[in-house]
Structure 1
Amino acid sequence: MNPFVLLAALPLMAMAPMTIAAMQWERRVLLVSASAADDAMLAEQRRVVARWKAEGEARDLSVVEVVGERVVGAADRAASLRRRYGLPASGFGAVLIGKDGGVKLRSSRPLSSAVLAEAIDAMPMRRSGGR
């Protein structure tokens, strides 16, 4: 399956991607990393995100993928994101980044919509009435 077709289902991918740092205070980021486009866990995370599109949008969530050396959804470089967020060079990794820029959740397996909702809804900016 064409990965670009799947990416069209990801919530709020900016037309002209900005860096993750530039998203701070505006967006939460689900940063997903895989060494190859055919990674089964990457496919599962994409399915979760696609089914959770409206809920993710309501929570100001953007998805950034690092697949091999390619980054989709942000202007950052793959090596820089892996280093900064401790993502593996091979295999799968997922990191949820809050609006404050801090890592809120880290996993070596796909994150379920229930886990994402619980983590985001517990964030101070979300609880205080902000999105």
Structure 2
Amino acid sequence: MVKRKKNYNFYYDEAFHDRKITENKKVKGELNIENNEQSDNFVSVNIGLPHHLTEEYFEKYLLFESNVKNILDIDSHKEFKGATIRKKNFKFGIASFNTNTLKIYSDFFDFFDDGAFYNELSHLRH
């Protein structure tokens, strides 16, 4: 019996980092990374799934994205970005999520919770 190689597709994204540390123009002596709106953290996510499931999960993602756009009243031609869910929803963590935000995140994590995905979350803090 010949073993077949398993082929995977991996996707990568990163967020929450400033590429350059600079002095705040408004507050002398303060670095940009000391501002609450900016960060020296680096977070990356790698997600992989078996190649033969890629098309199926792409279709599932499009359905998820369409539902999110309907919930948030976003034009179907505009891209859904993480920043679309406003910062005010994170002020007190999950406790400050409204019903729509909670539904979106719940559906998003359910999307990855069926065992088909390889997930890796990395966090680097200086």
- Compute the TM-score of the two structures, normalised by the length of structure 2: 0.23
Choose 1 or 2 for highest CA Rg.
2
- Compute the TM-score of the two structures, normalised by the length of structure 1: 0.22
